[in-house]
A and B are shown apart, each in its own frame.
Chain A
C-alpha cells in the first residue's frame, strides 16, 4: 500500500473517527459535569463548620482519589444493570456502557474538585477572589487529562476513537494500515489537548501576574 492510498483511506474514514472522538469528548463532559457537581458538594462540606460533615467529606474525597478509574469502569460495567426500573413508577433508567465509563471517570473528578475547590473557597473567604478564579484554568487542564483517560473506555467496549480505529482496521482488512491509523488517533488527542493546555497555561500565568501586584500592596 503506497502513501496516497493510505491517505485516501484515512480521509475516507475521518468522519467516522471524528464522531468516535466526539464520543471521547461527550464522555469527558458528562464525567466533568457529574464529578464537579458532586465534588462541589464535598468541598462545601469541607469548609462547613460542622465537624461531622467535614470528616465525611474528607473520607469520601480520599476514597474518590484512591479508586482507580479503570477498575471502577469494570466494576460498573459488570455490576450496574443496563436498565433499572425505578420502583413504583414506569420510568426506566438506562445505563448504556458509555454512561458507565463517564460515571467511573467522574469518581476521579470528584476528588480533584473537592481538593481544588476547597482551596479556592478558602481563598475567596479571605478575599483573594482572583486567586480563587485560578480554579478555572486548572479545572480545564484537568478536563483535558480526563479526555485522554476516556480512551480507556474502549476496554469495556465503548465505541470511542480508539475502538473505532480497531473497527476501521478490521473493515479495511489490511494490517499495514494499523500504524498510520493509531498514529492518526494520537494526532486527534494531541491536536485537541496541546493548544488548549497552552492556552490554559497562558491564562493562569496572566491571572498570577495580575495577582502579584495586589499581594505586594497588601
Chain B
C-alpha cells in the first residue's frame, strides 16, 4: 500500500498541478498580434477591381439544398445563402449574378475564374484551404445529427450509447461518431435504405448531416419526426475565393462583411426568416463578435498581419505560429506528436475540467457525509425500543442495500417526475440515492458491531450519544463503505451532472483526443481515490484515538 501511494501520487499530482498552474500563466497567451494598426497588410485585388468595373458580382450558389439555396415555385432561386450573396453585392455597390454550382464543381469554378466567389454550403477544412482562400470568420456551421421517429425521447448523445443507429456506408463521419459516441452503427448502402430502416423501427435514428436532415423534416413524408440531438462534429462553412486572392483586399472586404454580419445579428435574423432552427454556432459567434475590450473597442480585431486575433478565429485552423505562450507549446506538441493536451493549454477546456473536478469533489464530500449520517441515524432507529420504528428501519436497510443506486436514481428522477410532473435536482437525487445505498451498508456495520459489543455488555443499546463506543468494532467496514461511495459518484454523469466524467466525454466529443482525455481521467480519479482513502484513514485514526481516551 505504501509503495503504490508513492508511485501514483507524483504522476497524478503533476497533471493536476500543471492544470492549476497554467490557468494562471496562460492569461496573456494567444494575444500576440492584437490591437496593432493594420491597413498595409493587404495587396490590391485584381478581382475586386474587375468586379467593380463590370458592375456585377458573380456568385456560385446552390439551388438544390433547401432552405440554404433552392428554387421556389416560380423557378427563382432563393434561400439563406442567396440573401447573404445579395447583401455582399449591395455592400460592394454592384449587381448580383448567381450561378448554380454543385458540391463537386464549386471550387473548380472559382479557381478557373468563371465565378468571383462561392457561397454554397462549403465546409471549411484544412484540405480545401490548400486549393482555395477561405474567408474568416465562418458564416455558418453544420454538424452530424440523428433523424429520429416521434416516440424516441433521447435528448443527448449520451442517451443513445450502444443503441442501433442507421447510417450510410462511406460517410466521412461514421467511424468518428462510432468511436466518440459509442454508437452501434447499422450500415446501409443508400440513404433511402437507411431512412426506410428508421421508419420500420430497425434502428432509433438515421445519422446524417444536420442541414440535410432539416431539409427532410420540412417534407410531409417525415411529419412528426425530429432531430433533437445537438449537432456533433461541427464543420464551419466559409465563403471561398480564388487561392490567388489570399492576402488581397478582396479577402479583407469579405471578411469584414462576415464579421459585421455576426456583430449586427444579421445571420441570426436571416436564419429565423428561413425557419432554420437556431444554431449554437451563430449564437456563440454573435456573443463573441459583440464583445468589447476594456477600452470599449471590439474584442475581435485584425492584427498587424491582417489576421483576426487568435481568440476570434476558428480554433481548428490555428497553428502554433499563430499564437504564443502555452497555447503555442500545446499546438506545437500536437502538430509534432498528435498528443493534444487541450486540457492543459486551452483555457476553455481547462476551466471545464477544473469545474468538473470541483463538482466531483463536492459530490464525494456530500455522499460521504450523508452516507455516514444515514447509517448512524438508521442504526439508532433500528436499535430504538419504539414500536414499528425498529422493524421499519431494518426493512429499509435491506431494501436500500439490495437496490442498485442507479435504478433508484431512475425511479426518482424519471419515474416520480413523470407521475407528479416535478423535476427533482439531479445532483441532490444522485447524492440521496448513493447515500441511501451506502448508508444501508454503514447501518449494517453498526448493527453488527452493536451485536458483537452486546456479547460483553448485554445492556448496551445504540444511541446517538454512545455511537463512539462502537468505533473499534465498526470503523473498518464503515471506512470501506465510504471509500466505495467515493468511487461511485460518476453515476451522476448519466443524468447530465457536469462532473469529471461528463466533462471528459464532452471534451472528447469536441476535440477527439480520446487517449489523452481517458488517461487524464483515470489518473485524476486514482489521485482522488488515493486522497480520499488517506483522509478517511486519518479521520478513522483520530476517531479511534478519541474513543480510546474516552474509554
Q: Is A156 in the interface zone, CB < 8 Å from B? A: yes
Complex-state Cα separation, A206 to B318, whole angstroms = 70
Q: Is A47 in the interface zone, CB < 8 Å from B? A: no
> Which residues B125-157 have CB closer than 8 A to chain A?
151-153
Complex-state Cα separation, A115 to B402, whole angstroms = 24
Q: Is the CB of A179 within 8 A of B533?
A: no
Q: Is the CB of A78 within 8 A of B508?
A: yes
Given that A68-B487, A185-B407 are known contacts, is A55 also in contact with B414, CB under 8 Å in the complex? no
Given that A69-B487, A178-B414 are known contacts, is A97 also in contact with B407, CB under 8 Å in the complex? no
Q: Is B490 in the interface zone, CB < 8 Å from A? A: yes
A contact residues around B5 at 8 Å (CB):
62
Q: Is B162 in the interface zone, CB < 8 Å from A? A: yes
Closest to B163 in A: A157
Q: Is A159 in the interface zone, CB < 8 Å from B? A: yes
Complex-state Cα separation, A88 to B408, whole angstroms = 48
Name B's interface SS. Answer: helix
Q: Is B37 in the interface zone, CB < 8 Å from A? A: no
B contact residues around A59 at 8 Å (CB):
3-4, 7
Q: Is the CB of B3 within 8 A of A68?
A: no
Given that A148-B403, A182-B407, A185-B407 are known contacts, is A66 also in contact with B529, CB under 8 Å in the complex? yes
Given that A162-B407, A190-B399 are known contacts, is A183 also in contact with B529, CB under 8 Å in the complex? no
- Could you tell me the distance in whole angstroms from the C-beta of B199 to the nearest C-beta in chain A? 16
Question: Interface digits, A148-177 against B, CB 8 Å rule (1 contact, 0 not)?
Answer: 110110111111001101000111010110
Q: Is A31 in the interface zone, CB < 8 Å from B? A: no
A contact residues around B416 at 8 Å (CB):
179
A contact residues around B103 at 8 Å (CB):
none
Q: Is the CB of A156 within 8 A of B162?
A: yes
- Could you tell me the distance in whole angstroms from the C-beta of A149 to the nearest C-beta in chain B? 7
B contact residues around A78 at 8 Å (CB):
179, 182, 508, 514, 518
- Could you tell me the distance in whole angstroms from the C-beta of B504 to the nearest C-beta in chain A? 8
Given that A70-B490, A179-B418, A182-B410 are known contacts, is A79 also in contact with B518, CB under 8 Å in the complex? yes
Q: Is A124 in the interface zone, CB < 8 Å from B? A: no
Q: Is A71 in the interface zone, CB < 8 Å from B? A: yes
Q: Is B196 in the interface zone, CB < 8 Å from A? A: no
B163, B403, B526: the one within 8 Å of A186 (CB): B403
A67, A149, A169, A182: the one within 8 Å of B411 (CB): A182
Q: Is the CB of B488 within 8 A of A151?
A: no
> Which residues B184-238 have CB closer than 8 A to chain A?
184
Q: Is the CB of B418 within 8 A of A178?
A: yes
- Could you tell me the distance in whole angstroms from the C-beta of A55 to the nearest C-beta in chain B? 6
Complex-state Cα separation, A173 to B152, whole angstroms = 8
Closest to B532 in A: A66
A75, A157, A175: the one within 8 Å of B518 (CB): A75
Closest to B521 in A: A71
> Which residues B495-532 have CB closer than 8 A to chain A?
501, 504-505, 508, 514-515, 518, 521-522, 525-526, 529-530
Q: Is A189 in the interface zone, CB < 8 Å from B? A: yes
Given that A70-B491, A158-B162, A179-B415 are known contacts, is A186 also in contact with B522, CB under 8 Å in the complex? no
Given that A162-B410, A186-B408 are known contacts, is A55 also in contact with B3, CB under 8 Å in the complex? yes
Q: Is the CB of B526 within 8 A of A189?
A: no
Given that A74-B501, A176-B419, A182-B410 are known contacts, is A157 also in contact with B184, CB under 8 Å in the complex? yes
- Could you tell me the distance in whole angstroms from the C-beta of A199 to the nearest C-beta in chain B? 13
Q: Is B404 in the interface zone, CB < 8 Å from A? A: yes
Complex-state Cα separation, A42 to B338, whole angstroms = 36
A contact residues around B488 at 8 Å (CB):
68, 70
B contact residues around A173 at 8 Å (CB):
151
- Could you tell me the distance in whole angstroms from the C-beta of B227 to the nearest C-beta in chain A? 17
Q: Is A45 in the interface zone, CB < 8 Å from B? A: no
- Could you tell me the distance in whole angstroms from the C-beta of A197 to the nearest C-beta in chain B? 7
Complex-state Cα separation, A189 to B521, whole angstroms = 30
Q: Is the CB of A189 within 8 A of B404?
A: yes
Q: Is A58 in the interface zone, CB < 8 Å from B? A: yes
- Could you tell me the distance in whole angstroms from the C-beta of B454 to the nearest C-beta in chain A? 16
Q: Is B90 in the interface zone, CB < 8 Å from A? A: no
B contact residues around A162 at 8 Å (CB):
404, 406-407, 410
A contact residues around B11 at 8 Å (CB):
none
B160, B401, B404: the one within 8 Å of A151 (CB): B404
> Which residues B219-276 have CB closer than 8 A to chain A?
none
Q: Is B174 in the interface zone, CB < 8 Å from A? A: no
Question: Interface digits, B414-450 against A, CB 8 Å rule (1 contact, 0 not)?
Answer: 1110110000000000000000000000000000000
B contact residues around A69 at 8 Å (CB):
487
Q: Is A41 in the interface zone, CB < 8 Å from B? A: no
Given that A79-B515, A197-B402 are known contacts, is A151 also in contact with B526, CB under 8 Å in the complex? no
Q: Which 8 A-B pairs have the closest CB atoms?
A: A157-B162, A179-B415, A157-B161, A62-B4, A68-B487, A151-B404, A148-B404, A175-B418
Can you pick out 22 interface pairs between chain A and chain B where the beta carbons lie within 8 Å of each other? A59-B7, A63-B4, A66-B4, A68-B488, A70-B488, A70-B501, A71-B501, A74-B505, A74-B518, A77-B182, A152-B491, A155-B406, A156-B182, A157-B162, A157-B182, A162-B404, A162-B407, A176-B418, A178-B418, A180-B415, A186-B411, A189-B403
A68-B488, A70-B501, A155-B494 given; 10 more Cβ-contact pairs under 8 Å: A66-B8, A67-B522, A72-B522, A75-B521, A79-B518, A169-B153, A175-B418, A179-B418, A179-B419, A182-B411
